[in-house]
């Protein structure tokens, strides 16, 4: 089996997971910017990873347009700041796909974190607004507000196991 892992990463979490997946599957790992130049027919499994931004998986649509018509096994993973057990994750993931797409692929959520040091000014400003809203709604002592106040890393190689097993089936 030959696997391709394409990813779009902004603060490093998605890239980290892509590398772990590529190592586990002994596949090729490429930044999504290189995806248009690749021959997808050379691979048995096509995997895309993107970060969650406002409930959407960054860059997933062009990947799906290219990958699904190939008839290959397709997997998508998304990274975000929420812990893996957050009940809002599954419906948020589902919103990124049509019913037809959902039936042709498997989607996985892999918890990443927040990396304020790697964010640009616009993302920092958006996070500041979100922090202020969370503080107003939930209070300064809420777990959510406390998580939003500093950078943190929830990523762990153990989270890739279900995706790797799916690809190896």
User: pLDDT by residue for the chain (169 residues), tens digit each?
Assistant: 999 999 999 999 999 999 999 999 999 999 999 877 889 999 999 999 999 988 899 999 999 999 999 999 999 999 999 999 999 999 999 999 999 999 999 999 999 999 999 999 999 999 999 999 999 999 999 988 999 999 999 999 999 999 999 999 9
User: What is the C-alpha radius of gyration for the chain, rounded to an integer number of angstroms?
Assistant: 16
Inter-residue contact 108 to 98 (CB < 8 Å): no
Given this model, what pLDDT does residue 34 score? Answer: 85
Give CA–CA dist 110/17, Å, rounded: 8
Given this model, what pLDDT does residue 168 score? Answer: 96
Give me the helix-helix angle, 13-25 and 161-168, nearest 10°: 40
Given this model, what pLDDT does residue 53 score? Answer: 85
Q: What is the pTM of this model?
A: 0.92
* Residue whose token pair is 């990396």: 115
Q: For domain 3-114+153-168, is the CATH number 3.30.70.270?
A: no
Give CA–CA dist 166/47, Å, rounded: 11
Given this model, what pLDDT does residue 37 score? Answer: 83
């Amino acid at each position: 089996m030959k696997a391709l892992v394409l990813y779009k990463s902004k603060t490093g979490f998605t890239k980290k997971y892509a590398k772990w997946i590529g190592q586990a599957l002994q596949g090729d790992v490429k930044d999504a910017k290189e995806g248009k130049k690749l021959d997808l027919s050379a691979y048995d499994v096509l995997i895309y990873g993107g970060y969650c931004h406002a409930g959407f998986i960054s860059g997933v649509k062009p990947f799906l347009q290219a990958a699904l018509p190939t008839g290959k096994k397709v997997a998508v993973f998304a990274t975000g700041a929420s812990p893996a057990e957050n009940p809002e994750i599954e419906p948020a993931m589902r919103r990124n796909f049509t019913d037809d797409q959902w039936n042709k692929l498997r989607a996985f959520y892999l918890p990443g974190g927040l990396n304020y040091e790697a964010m640009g000014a616009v993302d920092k400003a958006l996070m500041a607004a979100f922090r202020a809203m969370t503080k107003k709604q939930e209070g300064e002592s809420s777990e959510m507000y406390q998580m939003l106040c500093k950078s943190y890393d929830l990523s762990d190689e153990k989270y890739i196991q279900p995706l790797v097993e799916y690809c190896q089936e």
